[in-house]
Amino acid sequence: MEDRYTRLYARIEQALREKPKRDALYRAMKRGRDARAQALTTLPGGERFQQEVRATKLRCLDRQDILVAQFVEKVRERGAQVFLARDGAEAIQYILRLAQERQARVVAKSKSLTSEEIEVNHPLEAEGIQVIETDLGELIIQQVHEKPFHLVFPAVHKTAKEVAEIFHRVTQAEVPADADAIMQVVRRYLRPIFLQADIGMTGANIGIAETGTIVIETNEGNARLVSSIPDLHICIIGREKIVEKVEDALLLMLAHPLSSVGQLLTTYVTIMGGRSPLGTGGDSRESHIIILDNGRTRMREDPWFKDALNCIRCGACMNICPTYGVVGGHTFGYIYPGPIGIPWTAEIHGLEKAGDFAPLCISCGLCKEICPAEIDLPMLIAAVKHRDMTLHPPPLVNRVLMQAETFARVGSATAPLSNWFLQNSIFRRLLERIAGIDHRRNLPPFQRETLMKRFRRRRRAPLDQPVRRVVYFVDLYANYNAPDLGLAVIEHLEALGCEVVLPPQKSSGYPYVGYGDLERARQVATYNVQHLAPYARQGYDIVVTEPTAAYTLKFVYPKLLDDREEARLVADRTQEFFAYLLALEEERGVSAEQKTLPLQGRRLGFHLSCHQRPLGAGREAMTWLKRRGATVELIETGTCCGMGGTFGLKSGLLGYQLSQAVGEPLFQAFRDAGVEAIVTESSVCRIHLAEGTQLPVYHPLQLLSS
């Protein structure tokens, strides 16, 4: 365990020291997600294509055995050969046998993640066979004996100067640090390899069962040369990539480049079936397709990890992952990097290897939102962390933060003494040393009288005919730290004719999910659903002010509780506070024209927290502020602020320091915007933003009294 964290800390520290590379990586990832967002504006239906991709993948996954058998039959009808490899060792033995039969000396490869997965190059080289990567990025990292840094951009971490030096060593030619000049040198280097290779080896982005064809997508065209010129072509494809029909393939041909770099189609799309003669000696030309299992069948039988098989290898989750965008794939990965790399590594290369980098996931949920197949990556990663906990107990700081509600309850019960301790520098340094909570974080003070206590003491006559009946799900902050905010929520709802109740409830329990204790997360989910579902059945709406709590009730509880009817009912009745408030105001005619504009002249920057994106994306809160006279601008970088719930409360490299590095671009964006204050609905984001920008940060309701 100590070795695991020592290695991880060392890699994070190295990444944080290399700021120019870190900045270049951030810019590259931002270009990818910005280009995707722009491309979606030109696509009919926009992000609805994700639903089509997911439906297609699920349908094909459910029929996988049938489709694999159909694909094999059609491939053989076209004159090619097929080998079903149970694991990497079988695939490698098959390739070595083919190479020995052909007395092959040179293998030219195009980019293939599946071949990286089984590390096919090393055993071939051990037999004296020269293996040359022909994709520029793969060639670069091959020359420096590294692993891919990114699924789509293997060498994105290398500067032009470094690449020029690499090819100077390879070719002995003078190579200017200029992209065009480098490409000219690489073309001259690769041309004879394409022409003289004994074996061409590729992967495939898609296999089409109805036609027995494979689809290879590239932007360089190297795969077309590798697959067509050598007499022997070997393709390694994971069985999960086989789809039913051509229409399915066409959809994925769009989804791959669109999700990755905002392209609507890669420059080269090659659809191959069988093997055509080429000049003299054409009879010796063969095509062999290796369909790799390597744990995929086992994954399909696992109700949690089956979803990972829907991955189309676009790399979008890496483009948006806040911590990957700082530390990169050599820290955040084993062979498969980034968020999707955590479940894939666990299933293909072992839980131990996945656990080495799983702590870098801060459970922001952004990977799920950008994924073209809508894979629930946050819950898959939580499951990896949960299984890893059986081998490695979590660090003390994680256990402390999972008990946030217990500490909040004690903090409120002992306030104001607890607040004095939290402001005492000696105590805070001691707390950091013992519990791992960074002493620099300004923790919100506790209130002796919680919202629950204040609500029970209120004297208010019941409404005869309420317009709506509402359950307010309070969560931690509004209960223990800001009961005045909670009361303001209740008063706004009551002023619009709502009956508001606060049944027994725990906090959402999301820290348990974030740190991987899914058993305790289920216990909390069960408790809350048991107390909320009876109200939901009676027609009560469930209104939530904390974005993470709303996200948990709507998306996490159904998953934790196996989509049980009462969990789904609670999810369906849950709404964000400002979405609910705006609907009520419009229903009551309040929104037509505000008589007073209490926020007239105020210029505000709005921060959209990660868990708010799949909800209302902050639109309703911004509309509410604008209707009260404020000028509101959404300020964002397209990724997380870095706080990651409680992640940013932790001290050290795997906490405060990494969260600060993630937040730097957003802090600068707020400062550059020239706003007078920041508005956010997230109680934890406000801590990070206030410290990082030195600007005042408010919840929208608090602005009316500021």
pLDDT for 706 equals: 60
Q: Is residue 7 part of a domain?
A: no
Are 56 and 169 found together in one domain? yes
Query: Quick check: 705 pLDDT over 80?
Result: no
- Cα–Cα dist 233/204, whole Å: 12
Whole-number pLDDT of residue 46: 83
Asked if residue 545 is part of any domain, the answer here is yes
Interatomic CA distance for residues 476 and 402, integer angstroms: 13
Strands 232-238 and 677-679 come out as unpaired
Does residue 588 sit in the same domain as residue 604?
Answer: no
pTM of the model: 0.94
Are 165 and 197 in the same domain?
yes
User: What torsion, rounded to 10 degrees, do the Cα atoms 446, 691, 672, 546 define?
Assistant: -30
- CATH of residue 555's domain is 3.40.50
| pLDDT value of residue 3 | 83
Domain count along the chain: 4
Residue 199: is its pLDDT beyond 90?
yes
Q: Specify whether 285 is located in the same domain as 320.
A: no
Where b means 16+ CB within 10 Å and e means fewer, 585-623 reads: beeeebbeeeeeeebeebebbbbbbbbbbbbbebbbbbb
Give kind and range of the element (H or E) at residue 502.
none
* Mean pLDDT along residues 564-588: 95
Q: At what angle do helices 64-77 and 49-62 cross, to 10 degrees?
A: 80
Burial of 48 (0-12, 13-18, 19+ CB in 10 A): exposed
List CB contacts of 399: < 8 A, sequence separation 6 or more.
none
pLDDT at residue 465 in the model: 86
Contact 436, 395 (CB under 8 A): yes
Tokens representing residue 402 in the block? 């999972």
In the predicted model, is pLDDT for residue 593 greater than 80? Answer: no
pLDDT tens sequence across 477-498: 999 999 999 999 999 999 999 9
- 130 lies in the same domain as 220: yes
Question: Is 699 within 8 Å of 681 (Cβ atoms)?
Answer: yes
Q: What's the token pair of residue 21?
A: 């590379």
Same domain, 386 and 476: no
Instruction: Tell me the average pLDDT of the chain.
Output: 94
Domain boundary among 248, 279, 296: 296
Are the CB atoms for 80 and 237 separated by under 8 Å? Answer: no
* pLDDT tops 60 at residue 592: no
Mean per-residue pLDDT for 591-607? 82
13 located within any domain: no
Q: Residue 77: what pLDDT?
A: 95
In the predicted structure, residue 692 carries a pLDDT above the cut 90: yes
Tokens 């709303």 belong to: 550
Give yes or no: residues 552 and 494 share one domain.
yes
Q: Would you say the C-alpha torsion 214, 217, 221, 222 has a positive or negative sign?
A: negative
In terms of domains, do 213 and 246 share one? yes
Residues 182, 331: one domain?
no
CATH number of the structural domain spanning residue 64? 3.40.50.10420
Q: Is 563 exposed, middle or buried (0-12, 13-18, 19+ CB in 10 A)?
A: exposed
In a domain, 442, yes or no: no
Give me the long-range contacts of 418-421 (CB less than 8 A, separation at least 24).
Answer: 418/446, 419/445, 419/446
| pLDDT value of residue 1 | 58
Please report whether residue 11 resides in a domain: no
Residue 601 to residue 472: CA distance in whole angstroms: 32
What are 258-311's pLDDT values in tens digits? Answer: 999 999 999 999 999 988 776 555 568 899 999 999 999 999 999 999 999 999
Beta carbons within 8 Å of 83's beta carbon, 6+ residues apart? 91, 94, 288, 289, 290, 291
**In this prediction, what percent of the chain has a pLDDT beyond 90?**
87
Please indicate, yes or no, whether residues 281 and 143 belong to a single structural domain of this protein: yes
**Whether pLDDT at 242 is above 90:** yes
Residue 501 sits at φ, ψ, to 5 deg, of -125, 150
Beta bridge partners of 243: 208
Task: Mark which of 575, 592, 609 sits at the end of a domain.
Answer: 592
Q: Domain for residue 499, yes or no?
A: yes
Residue 549 lies in domain: 449-592
Q: Which of 296, 325, 353 is at the close of a domain?
A: 296
Task: For residues 582 and 684, state if they share a domain.
Answer: no
47 vs 11: which has the higher pLDDT: 11
pLDDT for 464: 79
Say how far apart CA 136 and CA 184 lie, in whole Å.
Answer: 12
Angle between helices 577-588 and 483-495 (to 10 degrees): 30
- Edge-to-edge strand list for the sheet holding 130-133: 81-85, 286-292, 232-238, 199-202, 106-109, 130-133
Compute the average pLDDT of residues 602-623: 95
Inter-residue contact 330 to 141 (CB < 8 Å) = no
Q: Is 13 exposed, middle or buried (0-12, 13-18, 19+ CB in 10 A)?
A: middle
Predicted local distance difference test score (pLDDT) of residue 590: 75
Q: Summarize pLDDT for 185-195 with one digit per residue, the tens.
A: 999 999 999 99
- 512 near 385, Cβ under 8 Å? no
CATH number at residue 354: 1.10.1060.10
- Predicted confidence (pLDDT) per residue in 649-691, tens digit: 999 999 999 999 999 999 999 999 999 999 999 999 999 999 9
3 within a domain of the structure (yes/no)? no
| Arithmetic mean of pLDDT, 545-573 | 97
Asked whether residue 203 falls in the same domain as residue 308, the answer is no
- 445-475 tens-digit pLDDT: 999 999 999 999 887 777 778 999 999 999 9
Task: For 408-459, write each residue's pLDDT tens digit.
Answer: 999 999 999 999 999 999 999 999 999 999 999 999 999 999 999 999 988 7
In angstroms, rounded to a whole number, what is the distance separating the alpha carbons of residues 663 and 689? 8
**Domain presence at residue 149:** yes
Q: Which residue has the tokens 């049938």?
A: 66
Pick from 341, 339, 230, 233: nearest CA to 288: 233
Nearest to 356 by CA among 322, 327, 379: 327
How many other C-beta atoms are found inside a 10 Å radius of the C-beta of residue 578? 24
